[in-house]
Structure 1
Amino acid sequence: MYTESSDYNITLFQPCVDDPNKYIAQSRFGRTISMNVLCRILQNNLRFGLIVQLSCSEKLGVARFDFMDKTIILYKSGKIDIRKSSGEEDARNTMEHVETMVVDSFSDISFD
């Protein structure tokens, strides 16, 4: 079973293409993601209005959606890009929310 972690190694890049006053934050969850499960979870969240503008490809191993006024890109490898982040604390908070939403898609394979 996956245990939640809030100790993310976050790298900030500036400027964000979408907003030059914001950052692109990159990190990873440390686990691979089952894309078919992730896409189902995200489709459900889209139907309930928790996320918007979803694009999810099992074949390409990537999902992109808007959440908490940010654009989130999740990769099968567990990598995450957060666009329009105001800084490291904001990125960490966003990752915690995304992790809670998609935790059931994490596989048992970890990357250190």
Structure 2
Amino acid sequence: MATLGQLERSVMDALWDAPGTLEANELRDLLAAADGQRELAVTTVLTVLGRLEKKGMISRDRSARPHRWRAAGSRAEHVAELMHDALGDVGDREAVLARFIGRVTPEDAAALRRLLGERAAS
């Protein structure tokens, strides 16, 4: 799973939060509003969209002009894949899991117990 740069992450956040597809100009406006900074050039947004498409993170609807973009998967799927990839790169997975569990909140620990229980039951 590819890691994302800051602008790529901002674009993905906007696409994940959108109820449907977005045009590059709409994304540019959302990014400017979210950051409270100067607007990006639409060519910059299109470059980032092209990179994200090559990474398989987004898809483009080419049937209309201007093209419309959407996330290929959910935010949760992306984060889970990052966690899985990180865990796969270490030699002592149990030590990493123990360290991770030692830092979770009581609420997250309860959610993990419940989810593991559901998995064991199925």
Q: Does the TM-score normalized on the shorter chain lie above 0.5?
A: no
Structure possessing the higher radius of gyration over alpha carbons: 2
TM-score for both structures, normalised by structure 2: 0.25
The structure carrying a bigger strand percent of its residues is: 1
The structure, 1 or 2, with the larger RCO (C-alpha pairs under 8 Å, 6+ apart) is: 1
The structure carrying a bigger helix percent of its residues is: 2
